[in-house]
Amino acid sequence: MKKMIFILSAVIIGGLTCGLLDVPHPFGDPGVVPMDEHFLGQALKDLSTENVVTSIVFDYRGFDTIGEAAVLFTAICSVTALFREGRKKS
Amino acid sequence: MIGNAPFFVVGLLFLWGLMAIFTQKNLIKIAMAITILGSSVNMFLVALGYRTGGRVPIHFLEGDGGPMVLPTPQAMTLTAIVIALATTALILSLIMLIYRHYGTINVDEVRRLRG
Amino acid sequence: MKPLSLIVRTGCNLFAWFMLVFGVNVVVHGYASPGGGFQGGAIVATFIAFLLVSYGGEKIHSWVNEKIYDLILEETGLLLFITLAFMGLPTSFFYNFFTIPWEAYQQTGRLFPQGTTAIMSIAVGIEVAGALSMVILSMFKGIRLVSDRQIEEEPGHDR
């Protein structure tokens, strides 16, 4: 079992190192992304929002945020239900 | 090669979390490893959107210098962090209930059946 | 858990309110400065964490009504967020219906030019603050359920 784990880790490390030698976009140069250029140019003009990240989270991609709020609400409901009062002691 | 050093750091952090999940027996340590793994993925996403000499993507606060960094990976990372927080709360709650039922958080001892 | 010593309780009494004010500041100025709903809500939730760590779980659970966090804060924030999203529905979902562009704002100088972005940030801040406070309170209650016996000598607690 230990030997299998070490072989697996060696394979993963080797594969990741070979992959990092030839990434399509190196660090510090993501290339031209038209969507982000549009956001950076238009967020202040259209919405008068100084913080571009906030305008993306709550306006351009609000649908992701609504799903995330639903996930958070579901997790809180399950945590509250796990520790509800009146559970019998084991 | 040396310019990609942040990606190497993120890869090492990811492998650290993965190896901890495979080898550890303590459930709390496994939860910590899952959190480290998620944090490494978040760091990879933020590092993908960085531009050399870039500024913070906030108008009138950016100072002088080159172009702004990409804002969309940062926004998506913000969403991912909150989801990871909810998942971590649920994992820790289940670990507390496992400790209450079995009296231990060792994986090998939890595996045995107990009425 | 037992309460901590007098020095820690006095310090937490003082600084918990400063953390609350700082969190509200981060939430309200989320459209123009680093921060926003999620981060400010997490800072607001540290208020109850301060009090829980310094005073112990039993006293806080006798003080706090959990329905305030669960029903009022969390669900009000979520409902406000979804209602604001649906109010732009004649054009599209999540349409920013009462923003004004930057040039018109420079000329008129109306308040709240950001429209629903700022209000949604406040709504999500309310929701996240209630949710994280609820998580902390529930897990402290879970600690009380888990430990049947009273722990007499707890390390790090001097009294």
Cβ(C49)–Cβ(C69) below 8 Å: no
pLDDT > 70? residue A90: no
Domains: count for chain B: 1
Candidate from C94, C128, C141 with C-beta closest to A63: C94
Distance CA(B2)–CA(B5), nearest Å, equals 5
The enclosing domain of B99 has a CATH number of 1.10.287.3510
Distance CA(C68)–CA(C139), nearest Å, equals 17
ipTM above 0.85, yes or no: no
A33-81 pLDDT, tens per residue? Answer: 899 999 988 888 888 888 899 999 998 998 999 999 999 999 999 998 8
Q: How distant is the Cα of B69 from the closest Cα of chain C, in angstroms?
A: 14
Does B100 sit within 8 Å of C146, measured CB to CB?
yes
Distance CA(C96)–CA(A55), nearest Å, equals 10
Q: What is the pLDDT of residue A88?
A: 53
Q: Does A79 touch chain C (CB under 8 A)?
A: yes
Question: Contacts of residue C139 in chain A, CB cutoff 8 Å?
Answer: 79, 83
What is the full per-residue pLDDT of chain C (159 aa) written as tens digits?
677 888 988 999 999 999 999 999 999 998 888 888 899 999 999 999 999 888 887 888 888 888 888 888 889 999 999 999 999 888 888 888 888 888 888 887 777 788 888 899 999 999 999 999 999 998 888 877 766 555 554 544 544
Q: What is the pLDDT of residue B26?
A: 92
Q: Is the dihedral of CA A33, A35, A41, A43 positive or negative?
A: negative
Distances (CA, A) of C27 to A46, A53, C38, C81, C144: 22, 14, 8, 14, 33
Is B115 part of any domain? no
Question: Contacts of residue A50 in chain C, CB cutoff 8 Å?
Answer: 31-33
Residue type at position A39: F
Residue B87 sits in which domain range?
Answer: 2-110
Does B58 sit within 8 Å of C34, measured CB to CB?
yes
User: Which residue stretches of chain B have pLDDT < 70?
Assistant: 1-2, 62, 112-115
Is B55 part of any domain? yes
Is B92 part of any domain? yes
Is B93 part of any domain? yes
Is B77 part of any domain? yes
Work out the number of other CB atoms within 10 angstroms of the CB of residue B70: 24
Does C128 sit within 8 Å of B58, measured CB to CB?
no
